[in-house]
Amino acid sequence: MSASPHPGGTAPLRIAVVGVSSLIGAALVEELRARKVPSTELHALDEERNLGKAPSEELPVSDIAAFDFSRADLVFFCGRAALAERYAEAAAAHAWVIDGSATFRARADVPLVVADVNAGVLADFPARGLIALPGSASVALATALGPLARLAGLERVEVATYQSVSGSGRSAMDELAGETVAMLSGKKARGRAFGRQIAFNVIPQVDVLEANGATSEERRLWEETRRVLELPDLAVNATAVRVPVFFGHGLAVHARFERPLELSVATAVLQRASGICLMEAQTGEIPTPATLATAPDQVYVGRLRADLTRDRALNFWIVADNVRKCAAHNAVSVAQILVNRHR
């Protein structure tokens, strides 16, 4: 079956993955293969300096600067924001472009999509163009809050995120590993990736501080969650913390609703929700990054309970694999929604 110039019909796709040497880029290639997304061509693209960093021997990496995007129907941007800033809009003239960086998330003319939450915004999306994906913490939070907000409205959210070092890329993971070995050997930690030691430590600052005292990560979290849930006035109070974990973000959530919400009803709703695995207290299971890093296809919710200090409020804990579930899995899910709607 030959490829069509656009990803309509039943023809396989011509796919390009930009930033393929990044953690998310490598995970996205794995996700495409695991879900058997049909393609006639799969182009692995990156900057010239990363051409030797192929995710697999059978998939060589080409220089993005020399690539003609008219050769692609679907393009994923997984690397640095600078790549999306330079190439994404040109690619979108020929193909669907799904961008995982922060470059286009704030643009009103670019849909911001979590496949399990607001896929409806893609209903009338054309056969080419830009689509943005939220950050991993925002994906996890919106996935868990979405079904509860539809049921009882949502008045306010207090959230503390405990973010793994893989959110800062491969070099940050190497830093954690190196510091851990050094400190267990009686040596000092270098503290380069985060400006201070991360091994055996927690750092209550993810990304740069802004003038109002919040970090840019905290601002993105509330802006993206409001937009995905279509609740522009939702009060979201966030603190983002970096923790010495390789994969998997944790979120402690305190949510207050507009209408009464019984715990049993909330439990039933989350059990039926798309993309969520509710781990109930009766089983003794609690979601943690270490235990769920090899099962990255769900957003895991646990410790669900009533807030004993406020009416119409629930507390719960979220764990999700930030690289695979919240980034790669979401990106491929969005692509499949687009393809299915254009068949």
Q: Give residue-wise pLDDT tens across range 57-104.
A: 678 899 999 999 999 999 999 978 999 999 999 999 999 999 999 999
CATH assignment of 13-134+327-341? 3.40.50.720
Would you give the DSSP letter of residue 110?
Answer: S
**How far apart are alpha carbons 197 and 176 in whole angstroms?**
9
pLDDT for res 266: 97
Among the four given CATH numbers 3.30.360.10, 3.40.50.1970, 1.10.490.10, 3.40.50.150, the one describing domain 138-322: 3.30.360.10
Least reliable range by pLDDT among 14-28, 172-186, 290-304, 310-324? 290-304
Cα 179 to its chain centre, rounded Å, is: 26
What is the dihedral angle through the alpha carbons of 121, 301, 141, 77, rounded to the nearest 10 degrees? -70
Domain chopping of the chain, boundaries: 13-134+327-341, 138-322
**How far apart are alpha carbons 243 and 201 in whole angstroms?**
7
